[in-house]
Amino acid sequence: MFVPTSLATILLLASVVALGPLSTDMYLPSLPRLTDELNASVDQVQITLSIFFAGFAFAQLLYGPLADRFGRKSILLGGLVLFTAASFGCATATSIEELILYRFLQALGACGGPVLGRTMIRDIYGPTQSARVLSMMGTIMALAPAVAPIIGGYMLLVFNWSAIFIFLGVYGAIVTLMIFFKIRESLQPENVNSLRPSAILRNYGELISSRVFLGYTLCCSFTFSGLFSFLSGSSFVLIDFFGVPEKNYGFYFTAVVLGYMTGTQLAQRLGPKLGINKMLVLGTSIATIAGGAMLSASLLSIHNLYWLISCQVVFMIAVGMVMPQAMAGAMGPFPKMAGTASALLGFTQSAIAAVVGLIVGHSHTGTPTVMAASIAAMGTLALLSYLIIIKPISANQPN
């Protein structure tokens, strides 16, 4: 067994938190090809992304209370087994409808990784140190989605799109075995919660009524939805509009992920000095400016690939600064229901992202404008969430 506070534990938990990004980023280069091979429209192919986040969102509402009652490890293992089986199911899909179904099941399993990975970090490190560790974890797990589109793009040169899901299935099986043999249960007996519906509803009610939880959760959700706007539209914009070869798409995506890693590094260095709230206002302001710059260029018909990617890199620096801090701020005050808090945060984040993804897919015009408008809107809403909800009560919150 790994020591709970060891780097090995952080690395392994990062690998399960990364299930969500891996499940979307690796097959992004194949989206335009799926329209031909499965005889599907762009809207239908976009649904394979949005349905994943819809399933990801709703399942988290169950994972949290179950983990607060039965422990983190057993519930996480159940999710990993489902993820692995559904990934192999995706590989066998012969129609877009089958792929959508298996993607939904894959999401139900995958969402246990982020919910319970974050929760176990909160269990181990407490409300203050967890922000630093979540930032460190963000840097580590960003390595996977940084290389995932590159791997996916080059796999398409040799195999068809189903090989990507076989890879994910094998990854899920390996992580399942590692968690089973190497990770200890982190839920303390005194923090075990009842699974009675009344107790679950009471806990969710307490979280929803908390301005602290709501403010941090919305900051996290809107910045993430800006990222998801890019995930939903970038393959069509880069490959179809700008003519980027499938095999090269991953390199542009890697530049964007490096922006996120830079943001998490800044959060690790500046977070302890500035505190959660100052990091949030700085990060959301940067996101608003970057999104606005991308949209302005598109509205002026200045369609420059390198400008678009540069704006997204800056936006992702902001995402890396905001998300770990906002997660820690949302879960910090609720040690006895950290799993439920993590689940509701994840549900809100994924639900908003799913809706945004559907809008981007349905409204796509073949140009970068819709994607850029969505990214700009999400950055602005994140900043407003801080100014309207968090700032008025920040004097009562820890810095």
Domain CATH for 68: 1.20.1250.20
User: Quick check: 252 pLDDT over 50?
Assistant: yes
Q: What is the pLDDT of residue 194?
A: 60
- Give the per-residue pLDDT at 246: 79
> Is there a domain that residue 344 lies in?
yes
How much is the average pLDDT of 240-250? 86
HSE at residue 138, side-chain half, CA atoms within 13 A, is 31
Q: Give the model's pLDDT for residue 398.
A: 43
- Better pLDDT: 194 or 305: 305
Residue 393: count other Cβ atoms within 10 Å of its Cβ.
12
Tell me, what's the pLDDT at 55? 87
Tell me: the pLDDT tens digits for 308-346? 999 999 999 999 999 988 988 888 788 777 778 888 888
Q: What is the pTM of this model?
A: 0.73
Q: Are 187 and 72 in contact (CB under 8 A)?
A: yes
Tokens, residue 278: 């100052």
Is residue 367 assigned to a domain? Answer: yes
For 98-129, the pLDDT digits (tens) are: 999 999 999 999 988 888 887 888 788 876 67
- The pLDDT of residue 396: 55
Number of structural domains found in the chain:
1
The pLDDT of 218-235, averaged and rounded, is: 90
Is 69 inside a domain boundary? yes
CA–CA distance, 260 with 349 (Å, rounded to integer): 17
pLDDT of residue 46: 81
pLDDT average, residue stretch 197-224: 89
Buried b (16+ CB within 10 A) or exposed e, 215-230: bbbbbbbbbbbbbbbb
- Burial tier of 258 (Cβ tally within 10 Å: 0-12, 13-18, 19+): middle
The answer to the question of residue 398 being in a domain is no
- Contact 312/368 with Cβ under 8 angstroms? no
CA distance to 286, 361, 373, per residue, from 297 (Å): 17, 21, 11
- In-domain check, residue 189: no
Within a domain: 110:
yes
pLDDT in tens, 360-398: 878 878 889 999 999 999 999 999 999 999 888 765 544
Give the structural domain span for 140.
7-182+200-392
Burial (CB < 10 A; 0-12, 13-18, 19+), residue 387, is: middle
Q: Quick check: is 356 in a domain?
A: yes
3-58 pLDDT, tens digit each:
888 888 888 988 888 888 888 888 888 888 888 888 888 788 888 988 887 888 88
Residue 399 included in any domain = no
What pLDDT was estimated at residue 64?
79
